[in-house]
Amino acid sequence: DVKVTQSSRYLVKRTGEKVFLECVQDMDHENMFWYRQDPGLGLRLIYFSYDVKMKEKGDIPEGYSVSREKKERFSLILESASTNQTSMYLCASSFSDRAEQFFGPGTRLTVL
């Protein structure tokens, strides 16, 4: 079974802090994704990566950056956390284009 793990289930940070969310997949998938999930808005794509060191902006990249130094790991970085970044963050991976995405359990981030 594909496994996508995220470093924390719950995280509480203060405004202005730098926040790292880590995601690891164990199935040698090419593509990895970061979404945020908010009530009434569904899932919105922040960034995705189709290869090591490659990244593409999604629909809402402002205030976020990403890093993919190894194929299995995709990190989301909040350079200076703000209260409007309080959300559920979901990581996903897929083997290739037009393939199923596998999701991690999510990290619920609260920024105070």
Partner 1 sequence: GNSVTQMEGPVTLSEEAFLTINCTYTATGYPSLFWYVQYPGEGLQLLLKATKADDKGSNKGFEATYRKETTSFHLEKGSVQVSDSAVYFCALEPNTGNQFYFGTGTSLTVIP
Tell whether residue 21 is a contact of partner 1 (CB under 8 A).
Answer: no
Contacts to partner 1 from residues 72-111, by CB under 8 A: 90, 92, 94, 96-98, 100-106
Q: Nearer Cβ to partner 1, position 18 or 52?
A: 52
Nearest to 15 by CA among 71, 76, 85: 85
x/- letters, 31..50, toward partner 1 (CB under 8 A): x-x-x----xxxx-x--x-x
Which residues, 6+ apart, have CB-to-CB distance to 54 below 8 Å?
68
Q: Nearer Cβ to partner 1, position 1 or 69?
A: 1
Nearest to 34 by CA among 89, 80, 83: 89
Distance CA 97, CA 63 (A): 27
Q: Taking the complex as a whole, how short is the minimal distance between the CB of residue 14 and partner 1, in angstroms? A: 25
